[in-house]
A and B are shown apart, each in its own frame.
Chain A
């Protein structure tokens, strides 16, 4: 693949706990994610998927190995510089949406821009545009509690994209949703988020969403077993479920 490498991981290892309680979450992971692609990390519970995207997103330090995001070495970028880097270049979609309950959809979407210091008026205008792109232009005044799960996840998607990040990490974006809503959310994610210059890394258990991936990395026991192309993944879709 000749596209720009957004994420470059080599021999990444991470463990939790000490002594007898030590758990090796990642055991020498090598992975590249390119711009314009949607990569899914799939595998059974406890295989290290969440740890890997946490390391990739710069919110967790690996014990060993090298992690570069957009050419920036995450092990040497620390403190406020890393916080700024994340705020500028990384978007997040969470399993439980993590919207701020007291803020409207519009205000939630504007949060990353406000953190970056964008003036409120401009932030709200850009947030409104992004809400329209995810089909929620008419619900900008609604509080999260007034939205369905699918709508909340669409707001979360809009929030993850509003500041134009080069990397978006999604943790189980469909697991809290029913099948139909989950499919719709993945469609929107695919339509709106995947584009030139941006990479998406999606952690999922849900085999029914594999068809939206460009590549799928299978993980088990802290290792990447293989990485298959989307077409192959779609062929596997009929046979695999990860529970």
Chain B
């Protein structure tokens, strides 16, 4: 283009747009990923079986315990185990209360346990009153107040105790879990112990986790369970999607984040478009000369789009790089940030659209330009 200031201006505009779009979409993806954190962490079952009215993972509508045996009897089911999920109040050693998410897994097999043990062993859940606590909660919301006034709280350790519904719970391990949308502390325990912690209700079975026999199609088995039991049976990936879509539909998150993404798109288009427009205004005579020399409008449009895509590629790279750096620096914070390839693809599509729109916006005057302008001094 021969104009360094405009060149930098266009790249800045596209970089800003790319950064904002990528960063906000990564935050959105991160938040959405947290909505199905429990499903992610409970990795072994291929199918989740639940009440037909359940819409997402936190929408617990307990089942009768006999439903477990009905599911086990369906053809194609390799194994089926009970799973409890509920919010309970934990009383800490200093007398304060903290709401925790209690996950009760099958006593016999311990299927559905935490994905990564940081301290202790999963089998230690069989010890009396054993619970496994997520490491982040152990250091923060479940931490014990320091014995020395003014000192930071002491992380919860193996052997420490707390109370759940007036019943003693002893920490037998620390685990790493995916941060959840509600960010509550997560406690793993056995299903039977979870029953004892939970308030008395007629039905306490939250989900039935199912493994499918080798060679069986997951979708077919799920349909068979639904047909035989009247329960809702979905594949793990489908349950993640159901959960995410619930939050997309019934929370304002997409609109709030989408506004920022749209803002980035508009600002990027405006900056790039105006700078491109100024560039073509300043070079009308050169464009006129090209038209006089036989360049068609189509050639000029392609030329401008090519220039636009060149600066777009640079701006996109810088923006995505900056967003990646942002995510890297915030990796240990509470920030929800995930940048899968789909985010990069959508961001690239948005930048491509900005480039094409900017090029078209700037070239309109050139397309209407009479080449005779070149002979005006």
* A60 near B372: Cβ-Cβ < 8 Å: yes
Residues of chain A contacted by B291 (CB below 8 angstroms): 59, 83
* B377 near A112: Cβ-Cβ < 8 Å: no
Residues of chain B contacted by A111 (CB below 8 angstroms): 290, 293
A residues with a Cβ closer than 8 A to B are 50, 53-54, 57, 59-60, 80, 83-84, 86-88, 90, 92, 94-96, 98-102, 111-112, 115-116, 143, 159, 171-172
Residues of chain A contacted by B290 (CB below 8 angstroms): 111, 115
Q: Which of chain B's residues has its CB closest to A57's CB?
A: B292
Residues of chain B contacted by A80 (CB below 8 angstroms): 296
* B285 near A83: Cβ-Cβ < 8 Å: no
Report the minimal beta-carbon distance from A242 to chain B, rounded to whole angstroms.
15
Question: In this assembly, does B330 line the interface, its C-beta being within 8 Å of a C-beta of chain A?
Answer: no
Question: In this assembly, does B148 line the interface, its C-beta being within 8 Å of a C-beta of chain A?
Answer: no
A-B contact pairs, 29 of them (CB 8 A): A53-B375, A54-B375, A57-B292, A59-B291, A59-B372, A59-B375, A60-B370, A60-B372, A80-B296, A83-B291, A84-B294, A86-B292, A87-B295, A88-B294, A90-B294, A92-B292, A92-B374, A94-B285, A94-B375, A95-B377, A96-B377, A98-B285, A98-B289, A100-B2, A101-B286, A115-B295, A115-B299, A159-B293, A172-B377
Residues of chain A contacted by B289 (CB below 8 angstroms): 92, 94, 98
* A86 near B294: Cβ-Cβ < 8 Å: yes
Interface residues on B, range: 20 to 34
* A50 near B285: Cβ-Cβ < 8 Å: no
Beyond the given pairs A94-B285, A100-B286, A171-B374, 5 more chain A to chain B contacts, judged by CB atoms under 8 angstroms and listed by A's residue number, are A60-B372, A83-B291, A83-B296, A87-B294, A116-B294
Assembly CA distance A154 to B360 (angstroms): 34
Assembly CA distance A60 to B370 (angstroms): 8
Check A86/B293 contact, CB under 8 A, given A60-B370, A100-B286.
yes
* A59 near B294: Cβ-Cβ < 8 Å: no
Q: Which of chain B's residues has its CB closest to A95's CB?
A: B377
Assembly CA distance A59 to B285 (angstroms): 14
Residues of chain B contacted by A87 (CB below 8 angstroms): 293-295
* B1 near A102: Cβ-Cβ < 8 Å: yes
* A59 near B371: Cβ-Cβ < 8 Å: yes
Report the minimal beta-carbon distance from A75 to chain B, rounded to whole angstroms.
15
Assembly CA distance A99 to B289 (angstroms): 9
Check A171/B296 contact, CB under 8 A, given A59-B370, A83-B291, A98-B289.
no
Give the contacting residue for B375; candidates A50, A84, A100, A112; CB below 8 A. A50
Give the contacting residue for B293; candidates A102, A112, A172; CB below 8 A. A112
Residues of chain A contacted by B374 (CB below 8 angstroms): 59, 92, 94, 98, 171
Residues of chain B contacted by A50 (CB below 8 angstroms): 375-376
Report the minimal beta-carbon distance from B357 to chain A, rounded to whole angstroms.
23
Report the minimal beta-carbon distance from B276 to chain A, rounded to whole angstroms.
15
Assembly CA distance A184 to B3 (angstroms): 31
Report the minimal beta-carbon distance from A239 to chain B, rounded to whole angstroms.
26
Residues of chain A contacted by B376 (CB below 8 angstroms): 50
Most buried by A among B288, B293, B372: B293
Report the minimal beta-carbon distance from A233 to chain B, rounded to whole angstroms.
23
Most buried by A among B1, B292, B372: B292
Report the minimal beta-carbon distance from A93 to chain B, rounded to whole angstroms.
10
Give the contacting residue for A115; candidates B285, B294, B372, B377; CB below 8 A. B294
Most buried by A among B290, B372, B375: B375
Residues of chain B contacted by A112 (CB below 8 angstroms): 293-294
Report the minimal beta-carbon distance from A81 to chain B, rounded to whole angstroms.
11
Most buried by B among A50, A84, A159: A50
Q: Which of chain A's residues has its CB closest to B373's CB?
A: A59
Contact with A along B1-37 (1 / 0, CB 8 A): 1110000000000000000000000000000000000
